[in-house]
Structure 1
Amino acid sequence: MTSYKQRIKKIASEKSPLILANDYDDRRQDLESRTIKNIRELHKYLCAIKLNFHVLLPLGQKQIQKITRLAHDSGLQTIADIKLNDIGNTNNVTVETLWDLGFDAVIVNPMMGPENLGNLIKLSHKNEKGVISLCHMSSPEAKVTYELQVGAKKSPLYHMFLEWATKMHSDGIIVGATFPDIVAFCKKKSGGSLNIYSPGIGTQGGDIQKTISAGSDYLIVGRSILTAKDPVSAARSLYELCKN
């Protein structure tokens, strides 16, 4: 078996860098059936599917395993977006549970500290799983926190997160498509060693071609597909933009 980083790269090269953020913002009881439908109808335009914390909580173990199995059978990687941030033992138990549920990678919050982050990445890589670390999110409020001036040099907080992710050999970082200049900075500063995952495409204002040109490797799209009258057509259109 290959590493997560190799697996998603191969799938993206064969299809596209699009990742579906299957993050419905309601509490309807048909999350499982809607997610399964999305995988079956949209998988040929995607390299992965991402499930957020609020989507995972209402689902049971068997439901989640059914979803991740179908995603794998459909040629997709699976990402648990729980922004994990805790002490070492809690982090380890959490990711091991996620792996048992069928997830290939987890999104984490580097506020856990560089040592905890590094240990989590080592454990994940040992099991051929991935860790994607927050660097700068896509919402406007991200400027309030991720651009806080910290340290002796008084540089933005996301600079420190980028340094940790690079040093610890994270499988990638999150940088919002709504901040293409920061995408470009992170790509250059990391020497291209980090894959950049960019949420915020479409509804939040992120532009696919600008984000790719800035250096993003994977594009995370949710509402632009989920709330479209024709999700398949919306996914296909985004897929075509990635190819241009």
Structure 2
Amino acid sequence: MTIFKTRLSQISKSNGKVILANDYDSSVKNLQAKTIKNIQDLHPFLCGIKLNFHLLLPLSGKEILKINTFAHKFGLQTIADIKLNDIGNTNNVTIENLWRLGFDAVIANPIMGLDSLKNLVKSAHKKEKGVITLCHMSAPEARLSYDMEVKLQKKQKLYELFLDWALTAKVDGIVVGATFPKIIEYCNKKAGKKLNIFSPGVGTQGGNAKNVLTSGTDYLIVGRSILNSKKPINIAKELQLQSFSK
């Protein structure tokens, strides 16, 4: 068995660096069937699939496990996007349940604090699972919080502090929105190869795949641009080809 970061890298060598954000809204029915069909149709162009909190809540544990098992059949890595942020005991109980449901990694909010984050990473890595932390999200209003100036040992932007914590805690990756290529560039320059950068917000939210890949993004997280397309396979294939160019 290999660690999450290695497994994701291995599948990306053949399939490219696109992760499907399978994040339907509440009006969509038959979530399990639609998700499995997406995996069936799109897996040659994906290295992973991300399932958001609002998608997981309507599903049973059995249905979630079936989705993850089906994704693993094609070598895809599965990520639980729940922005985990709580006390240590709650975090550990949560991730143990996520691992039983078949997930390979969790997205967490580092606002929990550095010590809690270190413990979360340590616990996940013992099971060869991954932790990806928020650094700067893709929505326009993200600037209101992630660009705030904070002061601990020194004055810095909140996303700069979150990057420092990610490096110290040795997380597997950070989320930096594709709508903020300059911040991606900053994070890539400072982090180097120590962690991966995952960028949502390509397409529908205005992020440009080529620009963010050039800026330092390692993996594109794409949802609506693929899910809402009349030709989702074509969109996924186009993004895959762009990801190979990095």
Scaled by the length of structure 1, the TM-score of the pair is 0.98
Question: 2:53 maps to which residue?
Answer: 53
Consecutive aligned runs of 4 or more in structure 1 exceeding 3 Å deviation: none
Residues 150-165 of structure 1 aligned to structure 2 (within 5 Å): 150-151=150-151, 153-165=154-166
1:240 Cα offset (Å): 2.1
Q: Distance in 1 between matches of 2:9 and 2:236?
A: 19
* Pairwise CA distance, 1:193: 1.1
Partner of 1:131: 131
- My pick for the range that moved more, 231-240 or 91-100, is 231-240
- Give 1:29 deviation, angstroms: 2.6
CA distance in 2, matches of 1:191, 1:20: 24
SS of structure 2 residue aligned to 1:58: coil
- Cα deviation code 1:135-178 (max 9, x no counterpart): 00001011000000000533110111000000110000000011
Question: Which residue does 2:64 correspond to in 1?
Answer: 64
For the pair 1:11 / 2:11, whether they are aligned, the reply is yes
Q: CA deviation at 1:241?
A: 2.2
TM-score, normalised with respect to structure 2: 0.97
Paired position in structure 1 for 2:212: 211
Partner amino acid for 1:92? N
Pick which of 54-63 and 228-237 moved more.
228-237
Distance 2:192 2:227 in 1: 34
Distance between the aligned counterparts of 1:165 and 1:172, measured in 2? 8
Partner of 2:73: 73
CA distance in 1, matches of 2:57, 2:146: 27
Secondary structure of the 2:82 match is strand
- Return the alpha-carbon distance in structure 2 between the equivalents of residues 81 and 222 of structure 1: 13
What is the deviation of 1:202?
Answer: 0.7
1:211 Cα offset (Å): 0.6
Q: Which residue of 2 aligns with 1:2?
A: 2
Give the Cα–Cα distance (whole angstroms) in 1 for the partners of residues 234 and 107 of structure 2. Answer: 28
Which residue in 1 is equivalent to 2:96?
A: 96
3-state SS of paired residue (2:140):
coil
In the alignment, structure 1 segments of 5+ residues that lack a partner are none
TM-aligned CA distance change 1:28 to 1:191, over 3 Å: closer
Unaligned runs of 5+ residues in structure 2 are none
Q: Residue 13 of structure 1: CA displacement?
A: 1.4
- Mean alpha-carbon deviation: is it higher for 117-126 or for 227-236? 227-236
Counterpart amino acid of residue 225 in structure 2: S
Q: Hey, what's the Cα distance between the residues in 2 that align with 1:19 and 1:160?
A: 26
Per-residue CA deviation, residues 66-117 of structure 1 (Å, 9 max, x unaligned), is 1000000011000000000000000000000000000000000001000000
Q: Which moved more, 1:229-238 or 1:178-187?
A: 229-238
Q: Tell me the residue number matched to 1:105.
A: 105
Shift of 1:11: 0.7
Give the Å deviation of 1:217: 0.5
